Amino acid sequence: RNGLFCLETAADEKENHVYTKALMAYAFALAGKEEKRKALLGSLEKEAVKKDGSVHWQRPGKEPEVDLPYYRYRAPSAEVEMTAYVLLAHLTTQPAPSQEELSFASLIAKWISGQQNPNGGFSSTQDTVVALQALSLYGAVTYAKSGAASKVTLRSGGDFQQDFQVDPTNRLLLQRVPLPQVPGEYSTEVSGEGCVYLQTSLRYNVQPTQEDAPFMLHVYTIPETCEGSKAHKVFDIGINVSYTGERNGSNMVIVDVKMLSGFIPVKSSVRKFFHPSAVEEG
């Protein structure tokens, strides 16, 4: 009771962050505070980003999306999370969400599902948990037992064709097929009734660019080759580390030296600063 009183007091503040409002809307929905839930959802709708037949929420003052060829923008974790909380708030009401709310919820669910990565998750663990919970509740609320079958046909310009049958027995089953030729032109056709989620996944490797390292490392042994019998037992390791970056100082630097199997450092030599250190068999 005291916790709800605290939230109700906070909800009356004029300048609440959109993330705070999304959390509070779901909290009031769970507590059965219908008036507060509706008031917060009404306020959130004024801040919604409505684009391409979908609805989501983003943080104020956010940088604009990058529009580049072959680049698919993926929303940050916080935006997936708070959009999922708004969806949960819309669907958590007694006895059931109205048809108007379900129509609006479908636009939110469309955006959330579009942020899902090829492995089924999202940007982080936290937003993945909330987003999957919201999509699961949406699926439960909109589930129709007597769902008809749907057929999805995937074709390419050549002779490739793949049919996917989606019916009540396999509606939760992931069906996938590798595309025979990339790049290529593919088209899809959907017939029948029901709701089908189609996703394409493109994976490729990019060679990382070689950047100038801010440190220079030079390691040498004395003697350079293990020719003498003594060198098989004891030899010196010299390590020269230089900071070559743009700053005035490098701050702390840790040099991790792995010993050869069967050798240990000569402790007295380790204490020497910027001098060769010796190792011996032991």
Domain ranges of the chain: 2-141, 150-192, 215-281
Q: Is a pLDDT exceeding 60 seen at residue 278?
A: no
pLDDT of residue 178: 92
Q: Is a pLDDT exceeding 60 seen at residue 276?
A: no
pLDDT of residue 277: 54
pLDDT in tens, 251-267: 888 888 888 888 888 88
Distance CA 76, CA 59 (A): 10
Q: Is a pLDDT exceeding 70 seen at residue 273?
A: no
Q: Is a pLDDT exceeding 70 seen at residue 231?
A: yes
Q: Is a pLDDT exceeding 90 seen at residue 280?
A: no
Q: Is a pLDDT exceeding 60 seen at residue 102?
A: yes
Distance CA 82, CA 101 (A): 17
pLDDT in tens, 205-224: 888 777 778 888 899 888 88
Does 215-281 match 2-141 at the fold level? Answer: no
Architecture of domain 215-281: Sandwich (2.60)
pLDDT of residue 86: 97
Strands of the sheet with 215-222, listed across from one edge: 215-222, 234-243, 277-281, 263-265
Q: Is a pLDDT exceeding 80 seen at residue 137?
A: yes
pLDDT of residue 104: 95
pLDDT of residue 204: 82
pLDDT band at 121 (very low <50, low <70, confident <90, very high): very high
Q: Is a pLDDT exceeding 90 seen at residue 164?
A: yes
Beta strands at 186-192 and 161-166: parallel, antiparallel or unpaired: unpaired
3-state secondary structure the chain: CHHHHHHHHHHCCCCCCHHHHHHHHHHHHHHCCHHHHHHHHHHHHHCCEEECCEEECCCCCCCCCCCCCCCCCCCCHHHHHHHHHHHHHHHCCCCCCCHHHHHHHHHHHHHHHHCCCCCCCCCCHHHHHHHHHHHHHHHHHCCCCCCCCEEEEEEECCCCEEEEEECCCCCCCCCCCCCCCCCCCEEEEEEECCCCCCCCCCCCCCCCCCCCCCEEEEEEEECCCCCCCHHHCEEEEEEEEEECCCCCCCCCCCCCCCCCCCEEECHHHHCCCCCCEEEEEC
pLDDT band at 191 (very low <50, low <70, confident <90, very high): very high
How large is the average pLDDT for residues 143-164? 86
pLDDT in tens, 20-50: 999 999 999 999 999 999 999 999 999 999 9
Distance CA 90, CA 152 (A): 30
CATH number of 2-141: 1.50.10.20
Structure tokens at 55: 């609805």
pLDDT of residue 69: 54
pLDDT in tens, 46-68: 999 998 899 999 988 766 665 55
Q: Is a pLDDT exceeding 80 seen at residue 279?
A: no
Q: Is a pLDDT exceeding 80 seen at residue 247?
A: yes
